[in-house]
Amino acid sequence: MSSIPPVRIAIVGAGPGGLTLARILQLSDIHATVDIYERDLSATYRQQGGSLDLHPESGQVAMKVAQLFAEFRKYARYEGEGMKILDKDAKVWLSVDGPLGPPPAEGEYGGRPEIDRTQLRDILLDSLKPSTIHWGHNLQSVIPVVTEGVNEYKLTFANEVQVIADVVIGADGAWSRVRTAIIPDKPVYTGVSFIDITIRNPPSTVSDLVGPGLLGIFAGSRSIIAQRNANDIIRVYAALRESPDYLDEHPELGKSLSSIEAEFKGWHHSLLDLIRAADPNSIIPRKIYAAPIPLPYPPSNKAGSERQPSLSGITLLGDAAHTMSPFAGEGVNLAMADAADLAQSIIGALQPTPDLSGAKARVEFQQLMSHALRIFESKMEARASVKAEESARNLELAMAEDAPAGFVERLKAFRLADK
Ligand SMILES: Cc1cc2nc3c(=O)[nH]c(=O)nc-3n(C[C@H](O)[C@H](O)[C@H](O)COP(=O)(O)OP(=O)(O)OC[C@H]3O[C@@H](n4cnc5c(N)ncnc54)[C@H](O)[C@@H]3O)c2cc1C
């Protein structure tokens, strides 16, 4: 077996999806090399963002398959399931203490506990074999190289490195370069922009206002969503329903807290403390994009856009395939569920170890792998389509003129269904 070259698996992107995939593949005994190519220069190069809740049917299952559930439990904040919804006059419309029930027994799934994104990422990073991640590799292109019917893929990075792979997974987020090899479609602006700010060591009034979990204040074209993170940090998203150019036309919103506060005229003074108490150096404005619905990936989803056979060894997962607004809190969960499913598909195609010593055998293996990847994609698409619609609907209700009324009704229905 050692004389047979291993299958070269290239994962582009070290987000939660790419890392989970690599971890599960490395747990198996498949005859393959698994490499991640990541644009960031190091694990600490960029702020990773706020808190996430892992859902029992997706994110938590993926952590279990990755044999990292016990590690996850060390950081999981079950009390973070609490949620409050207010209007701009500080009237409470919904208040649910977290957790919804007692935390599940050790090793069991349940609830929707929170974990900081950095903690989740560190657990996954620490679980990988040394040298799995190639930092500072910003993918520019993937092109198929076909020899005697055998597809290989040439990946070219901005640092001029080129690598050849047999299977390529685009886990490279909303603006995926891998995706552009297969379909031209791009995410579209959702109509909402966020300004992220961070409160460190919050005063007790702000701390009490936010509580142990999530606080959402909704009032038509303006919302504030505040989330408790670990280490006495509260992360706040000031959401503006505005044109895609609004943040560019108002650069001061990326620079000063008072400019952000001015967007919330007429709001109860106690709520504005969520802006005033923030670190003035923490401001990050961002436009929120989502994949169009129906989802354009996989291309078999759209008549007339079939994939070229030479691209059969490429697939996508997570935001690269189906980015959506954060209003359903599903993005990380879907990316990790995709990773767990894709890993099983790839492992299945590689067991028993195929004999890849000749072109004919490699073409046969390629067909087997292609079949496995397409089955994975249809499962991913079915799951993500439902959540993409849910997320779009939540955004409409949360930022509607009558907010928070319709959104609260929807949340109550979901919470009751969860029990
Ligand atoms: C403000 C905000 C709040 C959110 N809140 C939540 C939440 O509460 N719950 C939740 O489940 N989801 C949330 N999401 C969504 C969630 O962040 C994403 O769905 C999730 O991170 C997707 O994981 P991923 O691995 O597919 O992609 P990403 O996390 O985007 O990772 C992609 C990786 O690929 C790398 N990369 C990109 N381009 C290249 C390239 N050309 N070459 C090499 N590497 C590249 C990036 O640097 C990155 O490391 C939120 C999103 C936003 C914007």
Q: What is the pLDDT of residues 9-24, one digit of tens each?
A: 999 999 999 999 999 9
- The minimum-distance atom of ligand 1 relative to the CA of 174 is 30
pLDDT confidence of residue 107: 66
Is 60 a pocket residue for ligand 1 (Cβ < 6 Å)?
A: no
- The minimum-distance atom of ligand 1 relative to the CA of 51 is 8
Over range 85-93, report the average pLDDT. Answer: 98
- What's the gap in Å between 258 CA and the centre of ligand 1? 29
Q: Whose CA is nearest to atom 15 of ligand 1?
A: 331
- What's the gap in Å between 350 CA and the centre of ligand 1? 28
| Structure tokens that stand for 73 in this block | 């439990």
pLDDT confidence of residue 301: 67
Residue to substitute in 119, 172, 190 for testing ligand 1 pocket (most ligand atoms within 8 angstroms of CB): 172
Residue to substitute in 21, 39, 53, 180 for testing ligand 1 pocket (most ligand atoms within 8 angstroms of CB): 39
- What's the gap in Å between 5 CA and the centre of ligand 1? 33
How far apart CA 48 and CA 155 sit, in angstroms, is 26
- What's the gap in Å between 8 CA and the centre of ligand 1? 24
Confidence of residue 288 (pLDDT cuts 50, 70, 90): very high
Read off φ and ψ for residue 10, nearest 5 degrees. -110, 120
- What's the gap in Å between 372 CA and the centre of ligand 1? 25
Confidence of residue 194 (pLDDT cuts 50, 70, 90): very high
Q: Does 277 have pLDDT greater than 70?
A: yes
- What's the gap in Å between 320 CA and the centre of ligand 1? 9
Is 139 a pocket residue for ligand 1 (Cβ < 6 Å)?
A: yes
pLDDT confidence of residue 305: 72
- What's the gap in Å between 355 CA and the centre of ligand 1? 37
The model's pTM is 0.96
SS3 410: helix
pLDDT confidence of residue 76: 93
CA 266, 270, 274, 279 torsion: positive or negative? positive
Q: Whose CA is nearest to atom 41 of ligand 1?
A: 139
Over range 170-185, report the average pLDDT. Answer: 97
Confidence of residue 108 (pLDDT cuts 50, 70, 90): confident
Give the residue with greater pLDDT, 306 vs 398: 398
Confidence of residue 111 (pLDDT cuts 50, 70, 90): confident
- What's the gap in Å between 77 CA and the centre of ligand 1? 21
Is 338 a pocket residue for ligand 1 (Cβ < 6 Å)?
A: no
pLDDT confidence of residue 48: 80
Read off φ and ψ for residue 170, nearest 5 degrees. -85, 100
Give the residue with greater pLDDT, 304 vs 170: 170
- The minimum-distance atom of ligand 1 relative to the CA of 16 is 25
SS3 393: helix
Question: Could you check whether 7-77+113-187+291-398 and 189-288 share the same CATH topology?
Answer: no
How far apart CA 261 and CA 282 sit, in angstroms, is 15
| Structure tokens that stand for 252 in this block | 């001061």
Over range 122-135, report the average pLDDT. Answer: 98
- The minimum-distance atom of ligand 1 relative to the CA of 332 is 11
CATH number assigned to the domain covering 189-288: 3.30.9.30
**Domain assignments of the chain as residue spans, ordered by start:** 7-77+113-187+291-398, 189-288
Over range 313-335, report the average pLDDT. Answer: 97
How far apart CA 325 and CA 94 sit, in angstroms, is 22
Confidence of residue 342 (pLDDT cuts 50, 70, 90): very high
pLDDT confidence of residue 250: 98
Q: Which CATH superfamily is domain 7-77+113-187+291-398 in?
A: FAD/NAD(P)-binding domain (3.50.50.60)
Over range 367-384, report the average pLDDT. Answer: 97
pLDDT confidence of residue 134: 98
- What's the gap in Å between 319 CA and the centre of ligand 1? 6
| Structure tokens that stand for 156 in this block | 């070219």
- Average predicted confidence (pLDDT) for the chain: 94
Is 171 a pocket residue for ligand 1 (Cβ < 6 Å)?
A: yes
pLDDT confidence of residue 368: 96
Q: Does 197 have pLDDT greater than 70?
A: yes
Contact 123, 19 (CB under 8 A): no
| Structure tokens that stand for 285 in this block | 């404005």
Q: Whose CA is nearest to atom 29 of ligand 1?
A: 15
